[in-house]
């Protein structure tokens, strides 16, 4: 490794958030379960990509509508210019 000022060590990961209208449990007597309407308009989801700089302790998270190689490439390019940094 070179000197710390030019070395960057990143840990990266992505995750997917799905916002769906669902009901997981409803109390009712046997064979009298009510129908529960869960209306939802279209696809409601987000993909987030983030990285952690081990040396500086910076965390950067970027949200995208779709998670693919193009959005991952954009996320990597934003590393040095990002204003959304948590320290």
4-57 residue pLDDT tens: 455 667 788 888 887 776 666 667 777 777 777 767 676 678 888 888 888 888
Question: What's the rounded Cα separation, in Å, for the pair 87 and 82?
Answer: 13
Q: Residue 51 burial by CB count (10 A; 0-12/13-18/19+): exposed, middle or buried?
A: buried
Question: What's the rounded Cα separation, in Å, for the pair 40 and 42?
Answer: 6
pLDDT category of residue 66 using cuts at 50, 70 and 90: confident
The three-state secondary structure class of 45 is: strand
User: What is the pLDDT at residue 55?
Assistant: 82
Domain spans of the chain?
A: 10-86
Where is pLDDT greater, at 78 or 3?
A: 78
Q: What pTM was computed for the model?
A: 0.52
Helix extents (H) in 24-84:
69-77
């Amino acid at each position: 490794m070179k000197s710390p000022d030019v070395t960057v060590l990143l840990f990266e990961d992505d995750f997917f958030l799905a916002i769906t209208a669902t009901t997981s449990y409803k109390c009712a007597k046997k064979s009298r379960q009510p129908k529960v309407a869960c209306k939802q308009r279209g696809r409601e989801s987000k993909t987030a990509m983030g990285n952690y700089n081990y040396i500086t302790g910076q965390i950067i998270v970027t949200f995208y509508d779709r998670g693919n190689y193009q959005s991952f490439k954009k996320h990597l390019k934003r590393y040095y210019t990002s204003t959304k940094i948590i320290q």
